[in-house]
Amino acid sequence: MDSVSALSDKKKMGKRIKAARNRVGLSQEALGAAVGKSSVYMSNVETGKANASLETVVSIANALRVSVDEFLYDEVERTEPALPREFMEELKDCDSYEIRAISEYLKETKKILRECREQKQNQEPVIPIEGK
């Protein structure tokens, strides 16, 4: 990778970090405190002027409750899970009553999981305690 593309990648990652920080409503100062860095350092990371170590990038992702891949790429290619085939295999010998019951159970479970995820995302970021 040449120095021009490395600089561009730093700037892109910085913009993604800033967008994630803004989505959760944190200041650079609050995020910096959560990861043990200054607000000036966080500003430099977000503008691509500083190289954040992998450890720092992971800490930032954890504090913002996002996956690191959100910072690395605009779009992450996802593969199709094998689960739909497995589900179909399991349903193969079910009668209509069993399929309706399983379908209702699946809908409720999905609703609960999404509510839990939303509650988790709306929680305050984790601020590490010094010395741990």
Query: What confidence tens digit (pLDDT) does each residue in 26-55 have?
Result: 999 999 999 999 999 999 999 999 999 999
Evaluate if residue 57 carries a pLDDT over 50. yes
How is residue 89 annotated by DSSP?
A: H
How does pLDDT run across 74-122, given as a tens digit for each residue? 765 655 555 677 788 888 898 889 989 998 999 999 999 999 888 877 7
Which CATH architecture does the domain made up of 3-77 adopt? Orthogonal Bundle (1.10)
The pLDDT of residue 69 is 85
CB-CB contact of 79 with 72 (8 Å): no
Residue 71 burial (CB < 10 Å; 0-12/13-18/19+)?
Answer: buried
- Residue 71, CA atoms < 13 Å, CB-side half-sphere: 26
For the entire predicted model, the pTM comes to: 0.55
**Where are the chain's structural domains?**
3-77, 83-120
CB-CB contact of 57 with 10 (8 Å): no
CB-CB contact of 70 with 20 (8 Å): yes
The pLDDT of residue 3 is 47
